[in-house]
Amino acid sequence: MPALLPAESGEDAWLRYSRLEQRVAQQYQTIPSAVVALGNSPALLNAQQEVIRGASGMLDRPFRAAAELSSEPAIILGTTAALHSAASDVQPPQIQGDGFWLTKRQVRGVDSILVVGLTERGVLYGAFALLRRIALGESIEYLDEVQQPYAPLRWIDQWDNLDGRIERGYAGPSVFFENGSVRGDLTRAAEYARLLASVGINGCTVNNVNADPRVLTPEFLPQLARIADVFRPWGVTLSLSVDFSSPKVIGGLDTFDPVDSRVQAWWSGKVDEIYRLIPDFGGFVVKADSEGRLGPATYGRTPADAANVIARALKPHHGIVFYRAFVYNHHLDWTNLKNDRAKAAYDNFHPLDGKFDDNVIIQIKHGPIDFQVREPVSPLFSGLEKTNEAIELQITQEYLGQQRHLCFLPPMWKQVLDFDLHANHKSSFTKEIVAGKTYRHPMGGFVGVANVGMEPNWLGHPLAMANLYGFARLAWNPDLGVRRIVEEWTRLTFGSDPLVVNTIVNMQLASWNVYESYTGPLGIGTLTNIVGTHYGPGVESSERNGWGQWHRADHDGVGMDRTVATGTGYTAQYSPEVGKIYESLKSTPDELLLFFHHVAYTHRLSSGKTVIQHIYDSHYDGAERAHQFVRDWERLKGRVDGERYQAVLDRLEYQSGHAIVWRDAVTNWFLRLSGIPDVAGRVGHYRERVEADAMQLNAYTPLDISPPETASKGKAVECTSNTKSCAAEFTFNGSAGSYDIDVQYFDMPSGEAKYRLLADGNVLSEWTANDRFPARQLDGDASTRRQLRLVLHTGEKIRIEGLPDGGDPAALDYVEIHPSAAKLASLPEPVHLTSDQDHQRLLDLLHITSLRPGPSGNPAAPNAANTDESKVPPYRLPNPLTLKNGKKVTTADAWWKRRRPEIVEGFDREIYGRLPHSIPKLNWELANISQEMNGDVPVITKKLNGHVDNSAYPFIGVDIQLTLSTPANATGPVPVIMEFGFTPEFLAAMARRFPAANPANGSTWRQQVLAKGWGYAVVIPTTIQADSGEGLTQGIIGLVNKGQPRGLDDWGALRAWAWGASRALDYFQTDNSVDARRVGIEGLSRYGKAALVTMAYDRRFAIGFIGSSGEGGAKIMRRRFGEQVENIASASEYHWMAGNFLKYAGPLTPNDLPVDAHELIALCAPRPVFISTGAPTVEGGWVDAKGMFLGAVDAGPVYRLLGKKDLGATEFPPLETAVIDGDIAFRSHSGGHTTGPNWPTFLSFAERYFKLNNEAGIASAIAR
């Protein structure tokens, strides 16, 4: 357990810069301590000071500002122009807009780190990116990356009022305004700008979209200039929301008609006035003709008229207008079944496409209603082909728990951004449209409504800042996966304790679905009180009014019919490809069913459940999962600082109770309306509850609650006395023991009532109701609970006393008593051993004092490995067709049933280790989907994250990275070749550093695969299991072993990597774009070993391409040539193998091995295998090309037994000779340690098997 951690308020957010663990910090020892800024502008000096502050804090050593370049190493910060002046020999790559370049280079002959941007803002972003890398413990050994923002506009809106209140803000008053003016102290605003800059936000609108016209008065504008002054050094542009009627309200005109020349002149003069005070002013946000705001409709004008009059005033100053598409009639006739608020944005703005000036951006909410828990993507995104667009996402949780409930929103946003709208009948994802890429617009981007406040942790809930961070990261790069984003945020905010990281990540990723489950599932909407606080349950509030958030529930069914055939016609606003999906009840996804269709309660979902039962089950499941959040968080006590631990615990305990309020309100409402009971008998039946109105009351008065479903049985009791307490009492008749007691009561913000809980006169607990909920009456907004764990005795008198205060009548709903949940079992913490320590541990288990050292790969070393064929001593291989009892194997049946299992057992026990009997379930999540070009072939690329369930051991997380690309024009499932690959960042860095290694003709292996009409995939082995002995108590091996060291026959990394490849194949079997019968596996070097192990153990793989796998792969291990068993058994490579393998480096020898490489190849039979090597004179003798060839030769008898062809050769072939006539193939190319030159030959070999179109032919060609 860590030492007591110092308290933190959350004010530093993700910029804590806490000292790194020594083992992590070691990799940064060579980072220069001098920090040079090539210029003295405020932004560059901020970047310099930020690097000094961050690096000093994390690395616990001094960093300093250096005035200029000298002969000492330095971190150099500057623009491309400044770099050219200071070091003209350094040629930066192409950088655009706010992008940056991070690299390690020699400058003036000394090693340096460069942070270069086209603009000073880009330099600032690069500085923060460098610090983020260090904070996350990421290697900078190969640092050489260019980052470009996905879209030019990445803005934040704040709905702050001039009096300091924030509309839909839940974290205290405004950081900008108070008492009608800009704050005198703008320190907090400057810190906010710093936070925004750290994640690439380049603009901020500081006032409410329901704008106060005073912001444009001559008296107020100089105050706003002070905010711009604190924004500017952080590269954040100030913008304002404006009231469109301002020319009349504050301008002295008798009109605000946008076509009136006086109005046009007024806007022009006002904008000029602003730019004199704020030269870098960004522009305006306009909300008009919506929810009572005046707009151009007053004069019969259009939004284009309104937007353009302002845009033309801004144009000479390069300013822009965000015109909100949130324009609708909130007085709709609800009795007209054709009325539909969802159609409003499209109906209002699509006819105006092409009529907006080029500095106007239409700001569109992500869904067609209003930030509900789930909505379809707004069709307007694909409906503005000639107009700039931006997506509006709400970071503040207006409808989603108002930061009292945990609800991580990037998974929702990611689904929206990755949705294919098929604009113009072409693949077009939302993210591409809003960034201006689809229609080639000059501007576009992302707007997030944040509404941070003066509370220390900015957003109220200590975990809610993940939403601001997530928004910014997606705005910078919407291709990022949400798991990566939340892992970054968690580690930056709470540190890298594995249990803390995995617990918070899992909670965050589950939270949106959990909130949806207990509020509004199936696309019905959030079911909150829409005409009031937008907070607690209020199912009825969205019906029978003009606001248009109807769900049309009645006695028989529920849902809005938005089809063309029978409903409002909303589905016609989408492209035909999308509209067709939603028009059909059958093809509409269940999660949006009730948004698009009115169905009977008895309608069955794809799960087989009826709609009504799903509503019941979902709410109970969601409430239980919310309660699980509490249990999960309690594991972190002592691992998170006390202040933040308690703050989060308090919110999660509240959420757990409020989820039950939601559960009961919604399920009872639907039970009452439908008359259909819950098949589980839960709804309306609460056997562990004692209703307050059924207790013995002293001065308490029963009352009906409205709406009735927001209190148990629709009733509560209140204390009407203002001078004395009231009491409610009952007798506990259960068995003596430990119980969880939940006291459900109401907390009104207009007073601070006090409560006491007593048993037989003894005070068990007392508290004050002062949580300040957004409640206006006793209902679901005010309902909360006190949760206690107590020992009760049979016959005890339980008494609750309430003392009212002000407008809080100390109201009581019920008491619920249930047996205490057993405390979670104590889990062992992960053991951290160095490779040397773990290696020695295995030797101790084997009772071995020392191992024979392996030969050196350096030909000049005294102990150089043998590469002379004449010095290879004779050896004897085990016969793959002879049983252990000496009997010969002569039939295929005997091979499959007897000999093959013997060989597998030998590899399991002595070589690669056994697969555990129980491995946690893996769930593949689609992190991103995009259409891109690879060469001249369009492909659909899916980035997947394979999350292994770590609920049984949260200390360790395993998230496998998999990328799948298939031809976009494929007409059906295609074969796929999957590679064990390096991370994209590593490959990109190496490609930049060693361009000569890139294919000379530009045809990569992926492009060659595409040329066959096939797809390709890459799985990253190190995301399955670390490639080190130190990592054996982490990764999938560590997770299965609950962080404890391996046993002697436990699996090693090669077997773990193979397991991960098999899980990727599991996914391929569910993906309609992949022909899972024709999936091949490829790898090079250590990953060539892994590819061969994969083929041997998983007979579903159709073909293997095994590149330079050497010792432990296709090379005969008994053969004394090149790398040896002793090398693999050393502390640097032993982690690939089982612990038992070490004994063959002393006291046993390779000749004692029960199996050898030829039998590993034989385990692949009858499926085809291609063995690839380089030239011995180029690649070197270390991998032993002939040894791999002989492995292929000696596997031949098994292939022949199974009716297949062997290699067809016994003499080692000359270079560039393809031996591919059999089902085992071999080729040595003339290059080095790569499979590159052999790809064309392999693909021709594979085509022999993959070109068959019938299942029987494929089966006979590939496998048994």
Q: Which residues of 389-398 are buried (b: 16+ CB within 10 A; e: fewer)?
A: bbbbbbbbbb
Give the helix/strand (H/E) hosting 391.
strand 388-394
805 strand-pairing partners = 808
* Buried/exposed code over 920-958 (b: 16+ C-beta within 10 A; e: otherwise): bebebbbbbbbeeebeebebbbbbbbbbbebeebbbbbb
The 3-class SS string of 1028-1096 reads: CHHHHHCHHHHHHCCCCCCCCCECCHHHHHHHHHHHHHHHHCCCCCEEEEEEEEEEECHHHHHHHHHHH
Residues near 283 by beta carbon (within 8 Å), at least 6 away in sequence: 239, 314, 319, 320, 321, 322, 359
Active-site residue among 243, 398, 479, 742?
Answer: 398
291 among known catalytic residues: yes
Residue 1131 and residue 1139 in contact, taking contact as beta carbons nearer than 8 Å? no
Query: What's the token pair of residue 612?
Result: 């009504």
Compute the distance between CA of residue 810 and CA of residue 806 in angstroms, rounded to an integer: 10
Cα distance between residue 39 and residue 41, in whole Å: 6
* The two structure tokens encoding residue 213: 């016209």
Give the strand pairing for 153-157 and 444-449. Answer: parallel
- Burial category of 1252 from C-beta neighbours within 10 Å (exposed 0-12, middle 13-18, buried 19 and up): middle
SS3 for 707?
coil
Question: Which residues are 974's β-sheet partners?
Answer: 1074
Phi-psi region of 390 (alpha: psi -120 to 50; beta: other; left: phi over 0): beta
Is the previous residue joined to 804 through a cis bond, with omega within 30 degrees of 0?
no
Q: Which of 289, 305, 370, 1194 is catalytic?
A: 370
The closest alpha carbon to 264, from 277, 281, 247, belongs to 247
CA dist 399 → 369, 390, 1251 (Å)? 12, 21, 54
Q: Who contacts 1072 (Cβ-Cβ below 8 Å, separation ≥6)?
A: 973
Question: Rounded to an integer, what distance in angstroms lies between the CA atom of residue 479 and that of residue 931?
Answer: 11
What is the rounded CA–CA span in Å between residue 131 and residue 52? 10
Q: How far is CA 512 from CA 401, 412, 617, 696, in A?
A: 10, 8, 17, 41
Rounded Cα–Cα distance for residues 431 and 419 (Å): 8
User: CA-CA distance, 627 to 340, in Å (whole number)?
Assistant: 37
Assess contact for 652 and 623: CB atoms under 8 A.
no
- Secondary structure, 3-state, 108-167: CCEEEEEEEECCHHHHHHHHHHHHHHHHCCCCCCCCEEEECCCCCEEEEECCECCCCCEC
Helix and strand numbers, DSSP H then E, in the chain: 34, 38
Catalytic choice (21, 111, 141, 291) = 291
Q: Which helix (H) or strand (E) holds 363?
A: strand 360-365
957 vs 501: CA distance, rounded Å? 8
The full DSSP string for 542-582 is GSSSTT-------SSEE-----TTTS--GGGGS-HHHHHHH
Residue listed under structure tokens 């502008």? 41
Give the separation between CA 312 and CA 306, rounded to whole angstroms: 10
Buried b (16+ CB within 10 A) or exposed e, 73-96: bbbbbbbbebbbebbeebebeebe
Nearest Cα neighbor of 922 from 1066, 1052, 1031 is: 1066
829 is catalytic: no
The answer to whether the beta carbons of residues 565 and 812 sit under 8 Å apart is no
Active site (annotated) includes residue 370? yes
Point out the residues that are catalytic: 291, 370, 398
